[in-house]
Structure 1
Amino acid sequence: MEITVRSLDLDESGILEQLDALEEAMDIELFGAVSKRTPQQRRALLADTPYMRMNRWVAEVEQLEGGRSLAGVAVLFLPQTENLDSVDVGLSVHPALRGRGVATALIEQALRPAIAATGRSRVSFWGEIPQSGDADDPELPTNRVARRLGVERRTMGVCRTTALPTPDGLLDELAAEAAEKTDGYRILVWEDTVPDEHIETFGVLLRQLDLDDPDEDFESEAGDYGPERIRHREKRNAAMGTQVLIAVALAPDGSFAAHSEIHVQSAPGTSLAFQENTLVMPEHRGHRLGLALKVANHRRLAETFPHLTRLVTWNSHVNPWMISINEKLGYQVAFREIGYQGAVEA
């Protein structure tokens, strides 16, 4: 099979639609549901920002009936405000074409030369493995990719999914459980945009999320999230078609104690949502705020997006508190995800 690797041109006719088809095939394989984007929303997803620059390539294969089809895509992410010594690798191959050299071609012809040319010293990569079995099995496709990139396992996460809508009876039961410990706290809910009067404090929550992420030996510098960065993120979400359900817990003293988000794509055909960014500030833990926030957002999800069929989330395998909350809400393991890091090879 002849594989051609070339730079991704976002202005090329039909390429954004091909990328959408690739992502849809991967969503179906991993989650059994899809998160759709229009071509313009995908263009926004792949556009550089003041905080992240991207190099992008595609791999194509010849079709029997003539012409070429998209087999895979690689993205090299270069952080611009923190982690300035690091690059992050994104690599996707169509499920029907795995094991045929597509990932190898993207790594050898595009990623490795580009990584070396950055002058940065550390490379990071995340890849999926089955929910059970030996995570260090050298024959796992993700571990073969890691060897080619020169990176080693540093941490592990677990992806869980749950069917939607979450039963009302279960949410009522969990809300009552949370209420036993949340006396004096109030839950505020927003859509897409953080109110001006709360934006400074919201940035503190986002930084704490970075600081608290239980990533074991995976190294990452926490970001600073001032008003300008938060507003930029909101504008980018709008351009990408990402709708955000935000829930925060307000402590008795008026400070922010916790927050949680769910992200949903607005494009027709979307059936999948993503549970993101659940954090309880250290001084407010033990009040079941994580459970209370997730229950509130799961209710809103059913009311606002009744067409969705599945919700997905990730947790570190060493985060038993959030895992327990997710299991109460009906989440089940779909697969594991390994975080790899290593020094950039000369």
Structure 2
Amino acid sequence: MHIEQLALSVDIRVKAVVSLLAAAHAEDFPLGPKFCLDWEAAQIRYPAPGSRYEWWLASGGDSAVDAVLMLEFPERDNITTALAALTVQPHARRRGIGTALADVARSRAAANARTLLIAESVLGGAGDRMLRRYGASPGLPYHRQRLAIDAATVDSWQRLSDEALPHAAGYTVLRWRDEAPEQFLDGMAYLNARMSTDAPLDQLEWGPELWDGDRIRERDKAVAAWGTRCYTTAAVHDGTRHLVGYSTLSYTPDDPTHAQQWNTIVEPAHRGHRLGMITKAANLRFALEHEPATRTVMTINAESNGPMNAINAALGFVPFDHWAEWQVRLA
């Protein structure tokens, strides 16, 4: 077995990594969403700001890549934590290759002064069995939910918005595509930071994230480099002109039929006005105006996130599989 660190300058190896991820995705997630090769490659080459990444490759008897390990080392917050994602080619499983890369994950985390390692897996799958063997425990159970779009569902969003709007007097709803407007960078930074403290974490040991306007702009530039199309609907408090909530949907470059729900959050002081429902429902309609081919939307939420799960259910989302964020102490 040969293990090497991926050199991002070697294009053929990046393509090999993405091809492996695509094969595993087709095997493990036959119901989708579609795997976008160019989008995944762009994320390797243009990573999101705030972390340093390493990619490790394992090969069996020949030069073909049989397994891939991605390691993320946060550098602005959670600096004693490493995050890992390990993928093994379907035909190369149960040969010890994944175990070898799991050992690399532990050793590299320790070499980078990380004392906590976090990874995710589908509950009941091979991933969580391996994580248990390594002494990991499930810190945050969550589920993926899918929204199938038809005329009746779209009509229901308008009804939900009409019911919620009387509770939101004193707020204005705004919309934008892709990068956040300059005047809202600080507000977006504040709300992004709150995502790491307000959303349920259960037992997961994840600390507050540090965001400012510069990091938001860096993130937006990285997302643009991936070819992602984004749609955001936000709520602004009329009295202060402060951004107090938003919801974002994204599309990969080559699949106009599927959207991924990103953050939806409302500042605590402004909750109780149904701004979560208003921004999320309005943003779904906003995206469909520009992406009429959309047929499904996927979102991810903690099992324990009752308020957001209730909004999702009202909008038509249905859970379809169950995952967990796992963690293991290294020292």
TM-score, normalising length from structure 2? 0.89
Separation in 1, partners of 2:75, 2:300:
25
Q: Retained in 1: the 8 A contact 2:47–2:222? A: no
The 5-angstrom pairing of residues 322-337 of structure 1 reads: 322-337=308-323
The match for 2:132 among 147, 155, 166 is 147
The CA deviation at 1:97 is 4.5
Separation in 2, partners of 1:179, 1:284:
14
Are 1:304 and 2:299 counterparts? no
Are 1:173 and 2:156 counterparts? no
Are 1:211 and 2:197 counterparts? yes
**1:45-103, Cα deviation, whole Å (9 max, x unpaired):** 344566211111123356xxxx6543331111111111111111112234454444332
Separation in 2, partners of 1:305, 1:61:
43
Identical columns (%) = 25
Residue 242 (structure 2) aligns with: 255
The 5-angstrom pairing of residues 25-40 of structure 1 reads: 25-28=23-26, 29-30=28-29, 31-38=31-38
**1:302-341, Cα deviation, whole Å (9 max, x unpaired):** 2222333321111111111110111122211121111122
The CA deviation at 1:237 is 0.9
SS of 1:336's equivalent?
strand
Are 1:82 and 2:69 counterparts? no
Are 1:116 and 2:122 counterparts? no
Residue 9 (structure 1) aligns with: 7
The 5-angstrom pairing of residues 53-202 of structure 1 reads: 53-61=52-60, 68-95=63-90, 97-108=92-103, 110-129=104-123, 140-164=125-149, 167-202=153-188
For residue 73 of structure 2, what is the amino acid of its counterpart? L
Separation in 1, partners of 2:49, 2:170:
40
Separation in 1, partners of 2:120, 2:91:
21
Q: Retained in 1: the 8 A contact 2:56–2:69? A: yes
Q: Which moved more, 1:160-169 or 1:117-126?
A: 160-169
Q: Cα distance 1:241–1:37, how it changes in 2: closer, same or farther (>3 A)?
A: farther
TM-score, normalising length from structure 1? 0.85
The CA deviation at 1:205 is 1.2
Residue 135 (structure 1) aligns with: none
What is the aligned residue count? 327
Q: Retained in 2: the 8 A contact 1:36–1:265? A: yes
SS of 2:238's equivalent?
coil
Separation in 2, partners of 1:309, 1:96:
32
Q: Give RMSD over aligned pairs.
A: 2.4
Residue 286 (structure 1) aligns with: 272
Separation in 2, partners of 1:292, 1:163:
19
Separation in 2, partners of 1:204, 1:116:
31
For residue 56 of structure 2, what is the amino acid of its counterpart? W
